[in-house]
Amino acid sequence: MEKLKVALIGAGFIAGVHAPSWKRVRGAELVAVADIVEEKARELAGKHGIPRYYTDYREMLRREEPDIVDVCTPTYTHARIAIDAMEAGANVITEKPIATRLADAREMIETAKRRGVKFMVAHCLRYWPEYLAVKRVVDRGEIGEPRVARAYRQSQFPIWAEWHLDVNKGGGVFVDMSIHDVDALRWIIGDVEEVYARGGVLKEKRSTAPDYVHALLRFKQGAIAYVEGSWAQPPGYPFSTYMEIAGTKGTLRVDSKETASVRMWTGGPPVYMNPNSDDAYYLELLDFYRAVAEGREPGVPGEEGLKTLEVVLAAMKSIREGAPVRLPLREEVLEEVEW
């Protein structure tokens, strides 16, 4: 494969996950990292053998001229950084959510097209072994047509990052965390046409960002899903996830608390699956590298990130208005509003 220079922007938790994964991608050369906190950039560079670090990502873009930029910064900074990197000629993969505003997401997509570069949103569940197995089972029709789904994702409030306390910077639990389940359900079942949600700031009183949300999603093909996100769990509570899909011929589920990661029922004895595959973060970065090297579309193009963002923002609008919200959205939702 072609040798491509890769640069990280952001040196926090997810950059610490991505850096060793990039090191495994044959043909990718991790040349630099940038973070506004010099100590964090220096520490990440030293830990993973990255030759250079910067405190100004624009200087890094000018000096390094990377082929690929991996944006691992807080959500509210994704758009500006990604657009600057694209304008510098880099192909960009950005952490989810794509952005906090629909207009910013659209500008990111349009910039990538205008500059002729690849753009991907890192929705990692599309590369997670259990969810890949679910996708294959559903696509093969083994449980029939999906009709009902349930998903939840629970943890303590992410107090490790102050920006999560500001709804206009992170969006809260449904925009930041439940977006994983929303994207996976969209990928497996199809597009969403209506969202009806309830929730708010129920525990973390310092926050303007909702820490608990549950939403009903109605899909265009007629299925209904219940999705719940909670940051209301106490410190020490184990991060927990669950997804269940019931079809016309059977049911399957993915439960982080069970030994068998995927279980399926189709009328006979239950089927237990423990998919063995490579690390999902490595797989998503490998896919983006190959998309750039081969000149093809990446697995999660910007348009997919925008569609998923629209669903989670519709949930926020539904909470605020106390009514179902039809898609597509006609206005911005997170734009210096009071919650």
**pLDDT tens-digit readout, 43-69:** 999 999 999 999 999 999 999 999 999
For residue 231, the model assigns a pLDDT of: 98
By DSSP bridging, strand 262-265 and strand 192-200 are unpaired
For residue 337, the model assigns a pLDDT of: 47
Answer yes or no: do 177 and 30 share one domain: no
Give the pLDDT mean for 77-101.
98
Give the pLDDT mean for 73-86.
98
Answer yes or no: do 271 and 287 share one domain: no
Mean pLDDT, all residues of the chain: 95
Answer yes or no: do 141 and 46 share one domain: no
The side-by-side arrangement of strands in the sheet containing 271-273 is 271-273, 262-265, 251-255, 240-247, 146-156, 224-233, 212-219, 192-200, 325-326
d(CA 141, CA 146): 9
DSSP 142-155: TT-SEEEEEEEEEE
Residue 336, in any domain of the structure: no
**pLDDT tens-digit readout, 289-310:** 999 999 999 999 999 999 999 9
Domain that includes residue 316, residue range: 129-277+308-326
d(CA 233, CA 212): 10
Where do we find the tokens 């700031």?
A: 201
**Are 240 and 141 spatial neighbours (Cβ–Cβ below 8 Å)?**
no
Residue 260 binned pLDDT confidence (cut-offs 50, 70, 90): low
- Helices 57-64 & 78-87 angle (0-180, nearest 10): 20
CB burial of 141-155 (b: ≥16 within 10 Å; e: otherwise) equals eebeebbebbbbbbb
For residue 98, the model assigns a pLDDT of: 98
Answer yes or no: do 172 and 260 share one domain: yes
Answer yes or no: do 199 and 315 share one domain: yes
Residue 100, in any domain of the structure: yes
Answer yes or no: do 163 and 69 share one domain: no
Residue 1 binned pLDDT confidence (cut-offs 50, 70, 90): low
pTM beyond 0.85, yes or no: yes
Does the pLDDT value for residue 338 go beyond 60? no
Answer yes or no: do 8 and 29 share one domain: yes
Residue 269, in any domain of the structure: yes
Answer yes or no: do 54 and 103 share one domain: yes
Residue 258 binned pLDDT confidence (cut-offs 50, 70, 90): confident
309: Cα separation from own chain's centroid: 9
Answer yes or no: do 68 and 92 share one domain: yes
**pLDDT tens-digit readout, 103-161:** 999 999 999 999 999 999 999 999 999 999 999 999 999 999 999 999 999 999 998 89
Closest CA to 38 of 20, 64, 59: 59
Does the pLDDT value for residue 187 go beyond 60? yes
Answer yes or no: do 49 and 85 share one domain: yes
The CATH number that applies at residue 136 is 3.30.360.10
| Percent share of the chain, pLDDT over 70 | 97
What is the Cβ-side half-sphere exposure of residue 256, based on CA atoms within 13 angstroms? Answer: 11
Does the pLDDT value for residue 6 go beyond 50? yes
Residue 266, in any domain of the structure: yes
End-to-end C-alpha distance for the chain, whole angstroms: 49
Number of domains in the chain: 2
For residue 339, the model assigns a pLDDT of: 45
Answer yes or no: do 229 and 319 share one domain: yes
Indicate the DSSP class of residue 69: E
C-alpha distances in Å from residue 142, one per residue of 108, 133, 185, 264, 273? 38, 12, 17, 9, 14
Closest CA to 24 of 49, 44, 45: 49
